[in-house]
Amino acid sequence: MKFKAAIFDLDGTLLDTLEDIADSANRVLTRRGFPPHDLNAYRRFVGEGVTVLMTRAVPPPYRSDPSLIQKCVEEFREDYGRNWKTKTRPYEGVMEMLGTLAARGVKLGVLSNKPDDSTRVCVDELLPGIPFEAVMGQREGIPAKPAPDGALELARIMGTSPEHILYAGDTPIDMRTALAAGMFAVGVLWGFRPREELESAGAHMLIAHPREILALLE
């Protein structure tokens, strides 16, 4: 077996979180008198952490106001913390895929630009029973994706060299992370970004359903 471990992005790869993220962000915007965005707009806003999310969500004239952005970030975190699993669910086929990989002895990890505590809660509550060896969200001291630091730290924890790790994600940020870490970059087409963006970012392979990962980790 070429790959001995798999690292997965969370939002847009394992969990369909977009509606809850959009709803929380739109509530923040509406309370401040800003116009909300439709769901598709958030496909472009997410993936690089909460600060980038809210910077993209506010109207352009306000994006250079760090104090406002910080307040919006705090309000988003408070709202999302109360409503994060209203609509969020694993994508169809994800639990079966993860369970099969675990049964085969494949080491599993999760790497997200979502805050570390939120990442762990999402995994614990919505992906129960999956024996992940390493779960990491955005935290102090480790640069966010696309920096390779988090992916390499997961590789260290799992005791697996990067060339033996498959990295699956749904955004160009994920593809760049995988490539920078020396891992095999798999772009998933059921997530937030289109095929063209994943191809342009250097994905080694694109897949349309979670079960396709199983053939790569036999």
**Strands 184-188 vs 205-207: parallel, antiparallel or unpaired:** parallel
Asked if pLDDT for residue 218 goes beyond 90, the answer is no
At residue 196, the pLDDT reads 98
User: Tens of pLDDT along 52-101?
Assistant: 999 999 999 999 999 999 999 999 999 999 999 999 999 999 999 999 99
Indicate whether 73 and 137 sit together in one domain: no
Section 180-200 average pLDDT: 98
User: Tens of pLDDT along 133-175?
Assistant: 999 999 999 999 999 999 999 999 999 999 999 999 999 999 9
Which residue type does 50 have? V
User: Tens of pLDDT along 15-48?
Assistant: 999 999 999 999 999 999 999 999 999 999 998 8
Cβ count within 10 A of residue 90 = 17
At residue 130, the pLDDT reads 98
Indicate whether 93 and 200 sit together in one domain: yes
Indicate whether 67 and 98 sit together in one domain: no
Q: How far apart are CA 11 and CA 112, in angstroms?
A: 7
How many domains would you assign to the chain?
Answer: 2
The closest alpha carbon to 86, from 154, 139, 30, 24, belongs to 24
Indicate whether 114 and 161 sit together in one domain: yes
* Distance from chain centroid for Cα 4: 21
Domain range for 104 is 5-16+88-216
At residue 1, the pLDDT reads 52
Residues 4-38 as b or e (16 or more Cβ within 10 Å = b): bbbbbbbbbbbbbbbebbbbbbbbbbeeeeeeebe
Q: Residue 132 is part of a domain; what is its CATH number?
A: 3.40.50.1000
Indicate whether 181 and 124 sit together in one domain: yes
